[in-house]
Chains A and B, each alone.
Chain A
Amino acid sequence: IAGITQAPTSQILAAGRRMTLRCTQDMRHNAMYWYRQDLGLGLRLIHYSNTAGTTGKGEVPDGYSVSRANTDDFPLTLASAVPSQTSVYFCASSDRDNTDTQYFGPGTRLTVL
């Protein structure tokens, strides 16, 4: 079944630890995105990639890094986790066609203690 997968589904992490959230899509979409979603706030863009080999900063990039070595994978790394990074993280992809509709993975619920 085509779509986006994310791993892990959920994680509890000690502050200061390094963590990589994985995202893989099999729709051959050019663009991929990482969002965080917190109660009462809209989805906030962390980083994005318009095509393999390129990345860009979104609204809230501090404390996060990404890479896009190929079309399918777009991992998000927290170098040294802090409690304010407790959130639900969604990966999304789009085809960069005229509507640029984004399709979302199931999310990763991350708790930093």
Chain B
Amino acid sequence: GQNIDQPTEMTATEGAIVQINCTYQTSGFNGLFWYQQHAGEAPTFLSYNVLDGLEEKGRFSSFLSRSKGYSYLLLKELQMKDSASYLCAVLDSNYQLIWGAGTKLIIKP
């Protein structure tokens, strides 16, 4: 079966750095996405990785290792507004998105 694993919940301090991990087992791979979802709102696109390595976009970076079936989202200089759920999703060989359950990130002052 297809599976995406990510921690259920993480807590971090304002101004700090946090890394949210995602491991996946899917039938084929055509890219990995990270989305941010604030409570009661729709998911919004953060990043897309299809090649191994680190993609940096401002305070957010996303890393991919295809051989290890592993990705992480790195958030720097955390702000209170970063409190949200972060969803990892993989585009499989049929171009269907397989979603993880999401990681709820709690930022404390």
Binding site for B on A (CB under 8 A): 40-45, 48, 58, 90, 99-107
Q: 26 A-B residue contacts at CB 8 Å?
A: A42-B87, A42-B89, A42-B98, A42-B100, A43-B87, A43-B89, A43-B99, A44-B99, A45-B96, A48-B96, A90-B43, A99-B31, A99-B50, A100-B91, A100-B95, A101-B45, A101-B48, A102-B33, A102-B45, A103-B45, A104-B42, A104-B43, A106-B41, A106-B42, A107-B41, A107-B42
Interchain CB contact under 8 A, A100 and B31: yes
* Known interface pairs A41-B101, A99-B48; 20 further A-B residue pairs with C-beta atoms within 8 A, sorted by A's residue number: A42-B87, A42-B99, A42-B101, A43-B43, A43-B87, A43-B89, A44-B99, A45-B96, A45-B97, A90-B42, A90-B43, A100-B30, A100-B91, A102-B33, A104-B43, A104-B44, A105-B42, A106-B41, A107-B41, A107-B42
Residues of A within 8 A of B78 (CB): none
